[in-house]
Amino acid sequence: MEQVIHGILLALHNLALVGCAAAPFYNRNLVNSRGQYGPKLSYKLDKVVEDTLQGNAPYCIVFIIILFITGMGMPANYYLFHGAFKELSDVAVISLFIKLAFVFGMIVIMFIIFFKINPVLNKMFAGFSSESQPDSQSEAGFFKLRARRKYLCEICLVFAILVLVSSAFIGFEI
């Protein structure tokens, strides 16, 4: 029964890890595709981009929550069946700390994007319309903030890849 529970937790954990890496990867591709048109507002195109990017936020939050629940569940499952926590090799302990550091880094980045940058972008975009071009100062501010979000998403993608890589070494035993 222990292995069945561990297998379910590990499968959910791995799916959440892939989700955490996929979101910034696909967001990056969308932003890079939009970038081909330059920093000039195209209302309909930019609405789709904003709706897509900001619509992914709940998924990212769910993936992080699943990571934490399953990440805590695996050692708890072992403890339940053995009465002690599993001893980890030095490589596994270092990998675990690396993974946790990058997960927390992703959470900080997501907090900045979801609760600081996106609300400002929403407010700015609400002032635009499909009937007229925005003034150059508003447009420049909008694209500057988007560039900041893109930069943070690039960092988040790197962190997600490092989380995936470090996860492979957590089961390392000597």
Q: b vs e for 32-42, b when ≥16 Cβ sit within 10 Å of the residue's Cβ?
A: eebeeeeeebe
- What stretches in the chain show pLDDT beneath 70? 173-174
Please list, in sequence order, all residues whose beta carbon lies within 8 angstroms of the beta carbon of residue 109, skipping any fewer than 6 positions away: 152, 153, 155, 156, 159
Residues 98-120: pLDDT tens digits?
999 999 999 999 999 999 999 99
Quote the pLDDT of residue 174.
60
Task: Report the first-to-last Cα separation within the chain, whole angstroms.
Answer: 26
Helix 118-126 vs helix 136-167: crossing angle, to nearest 10: 150
- Residues 28 and 114: beta-carbon distance below 8 Å: no
Residues 157-174: pLDDT tens digits?
899 889 889 988 987 766
